[in-house]
Amino acid sequence: MAPPRAKARASHPQPPPQPSDYETDAPPAAVDVPLPPPRSNEELNFSVLGRIYPHLVAIEHVTPYAALYTFNLDTQQWEKVGIEGTLFICQLTPSPMGVERYCVIIYNRRGLDNFYLDLTSSDDMEITDPYVILQGDEVVYGIWIFADPPPASTANCRVETGNKMMEIADKARASRESKEREHRHDIKEATDHVEAPSSAPMGRQLSLRELFGQQREQDAGFSVHNHHSHPIPHQYPQQGYLPTQAPGPAQQDVLGQLFMKAKQDYNGLG
């Protein structure tokens, strides 16, 4: 039996090729994009710390590993706080008075809480074995700094870091004292240049000689001839009239009688 013949496939006309909008249909060549320049460790550290401490200006010193302790006054023992990591000595933006500011930071690898303390004076610091001791507001801190045994390059890391912290702290103190002296000097100059307010009246000012000389001339018209009588206060009229002529003998007798009667009335004899 002859095998069946295969059915003839229906032939369909193929569409003509479409023209391309590109000069070639080959995939475009890869675009060369320059890679960003590699950043140093200092730049990376500054970028990380700058996001946390926006007043950061520069990193002065770096210690690879440090651990923080506090001194317990009750037990007289050092206690580990749980903050360990890289230690940074940093410069901050100046204060409003222009004082230079510095700080020490331990970037914590074991939690979110970092250690931060302003460096203001080397008097609050001491280098001991095995800690660099710093006096805080109410807490005494001890920073333990890892150091390889000699002759490794990090064998003297604790002393070098402590000396750097003290140097930076004295620099901050010198800047603060200098600005305080300038401020006191400016205040003194401003005070010295302030003129006392004038209290002179308007117009011509009379001298003491002229002022009391006029009063003496007015009082010269009064003379008491009866030295044996009691002194009598002068009573001036309300209009300000001043007599310029001494009373005569008759007037003196009348006045004497009036005063005598007034005295008797006063003593209960009138």
212 and 234 in contact (C-beta within 8 Å)?
Answer: no
State whether residue 176 is helix, strand or coil: helix
Kindly report the number of other CB atoms within 10 A of residue 118's CB atom: 13
Report in angstroms the alpha-carbon separations of 64 from 56, 61, 106: 19, 10, 10
Task: State the amino acid at position 202 in one-letter form.
Answer: M
Supply the pTM of this predicted model. 0.58
Beta strand 131-135 with 77-92: parallel, antiparallel or unpaired? Answer: unpaired
123 and 105 in contact (C-beta within 8 Å)?
Answer: no
Separation of alpha carbons 57 and 176, rounded Å: 18
Report in angstroms the alpha-carbon separations of 49 from 12, 44, 123: 72, 9, 27
Distant-in-sequence, close-in-space partners of 92: CB < 8 Å, separation ≥ 6:
53, 55, 56, 57, 101, 102, 103
- C-alpha closest to that of 77 among 142, 11, 163: 142
In 2-136, which ranges are continuous DSSP H helix?
41-52
State whether residue 122 is helix, strand or coil: helix
pLDDT digit string (tens) for the chain, length 270 residues = 555 555 555 555 666 666 555 555 555 555 677 776 777 888 899 999 999 999 999 999 999 999 999 999 999 999 999 999 999 999 999 999 999 999 999 999 999 999 999 999 999 999 999 999 999 989 999 999 998 888 888 889 999 999 999 999 999 999 999 999 998 888 887 877 665 555 545 555 555 555 555 555 555 554 444 444 444 444 444 444 444 444 555 555 656 666 676 666 655 554
State whether residue 250 is helix, strand or coil: helix
Topology of domain 41-187, CATH = PH-domain like (2.30.29)
Residue whose entry in the numeric block shows the structure tokens 């000012």 = 205
**What is residue 224's predicted lDDT score, i.e. its pLDDT?**
45
Domain ranges of the chain: 41-187
Separation of alpha carbons 140 and 142, rounded Å: 7
DSSP state of 143: E
**What is residue 190's predicted lDDT score, i.e. its pLDDT?**
80
Separation of alpha carbons 113 and 269, rounded Å: 104
Report in angstroms the alpha-carbon separations of 122 from 42, 97, 171, 234: 26, 21, 9, 81
Give the CA-trace dihedral at 104, 108, 109, 110, to 10 degrees.
Answer: 150
What does the block give as tokens for 208? Answer: 């003491």
**What is residue 244's predicted lDDT score, i.e. its pLDDT?**
46
State whether residue 171 is helix, strand or coil: helix
